[in-house]
Structure 1
């Protein structure tokens, strides 16, 4: 397989062509010089000199092209090295950025996992089952999971507010009943004292002329107590 079949780059192909021509010209110069050296005459014919000069000029031209190609290739290699270094820096930067993205992805996945496994307080609420809630509010039948949860929490809040109002009303009534019972207890204690006073007065004034008036006066607090409306 020839080198031209392997090398496809136009610049390298031109260098190979120039080197092949230079090699051929060198071989021709060697053959011509050897042929001139073996001739009996000591002088080289003019046509041979002309051929040698022409071949020398062609060889110099090809060598000049090879030297120029060598310089161009050196400059191109330097430029390629510079481009390669810049590309390597860009690749390193992108690789570092990719690693940062991987790190951020792992961090976010960890945060998501922590949030998904977090024991949220709303999950501990004693909400009614979904089936019962949908029977109460069927308009949420087609709602997604998030909207349905919000609706159930709002329903629970509304129910608790109603129950809290009822509790406050019952507490107010309880306080009124406690106050009323205390008032009745005080009245009963006062009744005991008035009865004792009435009994004592009735016992001491029995048979006296003014006994009836005194009995009525002692019984007046008792009569007033029984006339109260509870």
Structure 2
């Protein structure tokens, strides 16, 4: 007989092997059956408890695995985005900027401090900002010059129109004077030959 055998089984075996009073046997048998039922209930309860713990542990493990899969997916996604950013060719690389020497001379002092000049990233940002400000300033200046040019052209057209008007009036006056001179010549008789040397009235 195994050492870890349940005592109830041993009692059953003793009960079967003994020749005793039937009432005593019945009482002992009922007690043993009750004991067996209790053991069976305990075994079922333990089984249910183990199943529940196993189910909860499996659920926790599934959740952990799902979280791990999500993290791995996010990691792969971020790595792809990082690669895209590294391969991205920004337009700033093709923008013609003031040279570094010109920037150091022309930029405001706060944009070209020693700390900025030691930081390549901040230096590039400041150079781009300075380039933008300069282009906006030059664009504004170009607009002002264009407006001045248009105003000068407008004034020139007005003066040209005035000159043309005066020219037309002068031509009209000259034509009228020529007509008057012609009529005067027709009205004044020709002078005799003896007085031909006398200067004609002007």
Shorter-chain TM-score range: 0.5 to 0.7
Structure 1 unaligned blocks of 5 or more: 1-15, 21-66, 209-230
Q: Could you list the per-position Cα deviations for residues 141-176 of structure 1 after superposition, in whole angstroms to 9, with x for gaps in the alignment?
A: 02351x333312220122112212321221122112
1:42 aligned partner: none
- Which residues in structure 2 correspond to 1:154-173 (within 5 Å)? 154-173=129-148
Distance 1:74 1:144 in 2: 73
Aligned length: 144
Q: Could you list the per-position Cα deviations for residues 7-51 of structure 1 after superposition, in whole angstroms to 9, with x for gaps in the alignment?
A: xxxxxxxxx7x359xxxxxxxxxxxxxxxxxxxxxxxxxxxxxxx
The structural deviation recorded for 1:131 is: 5.4
The structural deviation recorded for 1:182 is: 0.5
Structure 2 unaligned blocks of 5 or more: 6-35, 185-202
Distance 2:154 2:52 in 1: 98
Distance 2:142 2:106 in 1: 23
- Is 2:129 the partner of 1:143? no
Distance 2:156 2:43 in 1: 114
Distance 1:161 1:198 in 2: 55
- Is 2:85 the partner of 1:109? no
TM-score (norm 1): 0.49
Change in Cα spacing, 1:180 to 1:105, as seen in structure 2 (3 Å) is same
User: Residue 96 of structure 2: SS of its match in structure 1?
Assistant: coil
1:198 aligned partner: 173
CA RMSD of the aligned region, Å? Answer: 3.6
1:134/1:141 contact within 8 Å kept: no
TM-score (norm 2): 0.55
Change in Cα spacing, 1:206 to 1:126, as seen in structure 2 (3 Å) is same
